[in-house]
């Protein structure tokens, strides 16, 4: 509970994203939380201690990236001997971009990698000192389809013929309980579909279907069993067909539909496909970057896990192939692109990078919204949705007080 004596900050001269609309109002923050000003005004008869003039801008929750493999030269799957350094520097760099919370993502790896790094990728609060909040790891693979492996190393892929025992051997069930937000897996891989309910019951993690050749029937079974998301929609999955649309077909289900990540860099997914997906299921859209270690760095040769990749002119490919291997886009740019691709409103675009990702993880009471009691992770944006100011836990983040290193 906020202390009545601690300072209160007022954000004024702004339009606040609240209840699916931009409302001309003020926002009040105390002890790192959004507060109801009624108590301050009527019970305590206080005025704000600090006033932030937003210059007529938009006040939004901080962005949440559910899928990012690395940035600034660091890779969560490859830099296992400097994983704390990687998390620290990526978290600080992302914060300055306006991404105030994220899920560090690992690509398909050998068990020893998971047992080494997952304890470093678990939830941690965001702050000026630590950077963006970590919401828990996103483990992408290795229980995925060899036919839809994308930029994942074939030799690391495996099945779950022994059910929970295989997941325990690969990740460690205790690691899943403590350090992991969600796992991407292909439901048609041996043992995966049957294991989904048991895995959720044993660990409490979220499941996403992806890197999968599943039919619509199998994808539906996985969703009914508890898989609540689709990883990077359209990429690395059964192509849409009118008689069997595969995982993509879940967006047209008459019953509940899953959340879905979508990469709006104009490379992974054609703008028309983005529009089709959004108009099929707008409440499920979660903008993700799928960014890798070259984000914010020059073109050149980099690593994605153990894979060598080439980066040039905004494109990322496995070396000497035409296989896409992540992106270098920021989430802020994805939000702006989404409006260009779909004609959606600012509110819709912002909620795809704030509210919907938080809802997918079940944390919308504290992240992804500006409701009373939520964490005061706040962006001030101009009318074109360029980030002007960033606040985390109520404190402003600037290049002067958030210092980080790039690994060149």
Neighbours of 220 (CB within 10 A): 18
Cβ pair 63, 379 in contact under 8 A = yes
HSE at residue 307, side-chain half, CA atoms within 13 A, is 29
**Closest to 147 measured CA to CA, from 90, 211, 52:** 211
314 vs 14: CA distance, rounded Å? 34
212 vs 235: CA distance, rounded Å? 9
HSE at residue 203, side-chain half, CA atoms within 13 A, is 27
Q: Which of 75, 79, 265, 290 is catalytic?
A: 290
Neighbours of 13 (CB within 10 A): 14
**Would residue 168 show up in a list of annotated catalytic residues for this protein?**
no
Going by C-beta distance under 8 Å and a sequence separation of 6 or more, which residues neighbour residue 99?
Answer: 62, 63, 64, 65, 132, 330, 331, 332
Going by C-beta distance under 8 Å and a sequence separation of 6 or more, which residues neighbour residue 400?
Answer: none
* Residue that the structure tokens 């079940």 belong to: 362
- Which residues participate in catalysis according to the annotation? 290
């Amino acid at each position: 509970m906020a202390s009545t004596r601690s300072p209160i900050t007022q954000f004024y001269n702004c339009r606040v994203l609240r209840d699916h609309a931009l409302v001309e109002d003020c926002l009040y923050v105390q002890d790192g939380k959004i507060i109801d000003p009624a108590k301050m005004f009527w019970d305590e008869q206080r005025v704000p201690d600090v006033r932030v003039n937003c210059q007529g801008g938009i006040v939004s929750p901080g962005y949440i990236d559910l899928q990012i493999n690395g940035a600034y030269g660091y890779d969560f799957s490859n830099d296992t001997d400097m994983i704390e350094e990687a998390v620290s520097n990526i978290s600080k760099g992302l914060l300055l971009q306006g991404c105030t919370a994220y899920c560090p993502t690992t690509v398909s790896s050998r068990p020893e990698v998971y047992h080494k790094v997952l304890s470093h990728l678990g939830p941690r609060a965001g702050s000026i000192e630590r950077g963006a909040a970590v919401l828990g790891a996103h483990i992408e693979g290795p229980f995925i389809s060899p036919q839809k492996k994308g930029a994942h190393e074939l030799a690391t892929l495996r099945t779950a013929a022994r059910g929970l025992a295989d997941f325990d051997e690969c990740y460690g069930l205790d690691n899943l309980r403590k350090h992991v937000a969600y796992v991407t897996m292909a439901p048609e891989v041996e043992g995966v579909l049957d294991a989904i309910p048991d895995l959720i019951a044993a660990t409490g993690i979220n499941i996403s279907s992806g890197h999968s050749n599943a039919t619509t029937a199998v994808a539906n079974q996985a969703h009914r069993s508890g898989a609540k998301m689709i990883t990077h929609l359209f990429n690395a999955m059964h192509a849409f067909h009118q008689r069997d649309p595969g995982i993509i077909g879940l967006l047209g289900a008459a019953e509940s539909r899953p959340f879905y990540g979508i990469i709006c860099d104009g490379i992974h997914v054609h703008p028309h496909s983005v529009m089709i997906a959004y108009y099929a299921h707008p409440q499920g859209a979660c903008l993700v970057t799928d960014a890798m270690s070259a984000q914010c760095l020059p073109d050149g040769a980099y690593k994605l896990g153990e894979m060598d990749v080439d980066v040039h002119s905004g494109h990322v490919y496995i070396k000497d192939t035409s296989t896409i291997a992540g992106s270098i886009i920021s989430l802020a740019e994805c939000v702006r692109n989404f409006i260009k691709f779909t004609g959606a409103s600012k509110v819709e675009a912002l909620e795809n990078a704030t509210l919907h990702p938080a809802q997918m993880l079940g944390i919308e009471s504290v992240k992804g919204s500006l409701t009373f009691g939520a964490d005061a992770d706040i962006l001030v944006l101009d009318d074109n949705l360029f980030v002007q100011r960033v606040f985390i836990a109520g404190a402003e983040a600037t290049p002067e007080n958030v210092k980080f290193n790039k690994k060149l």
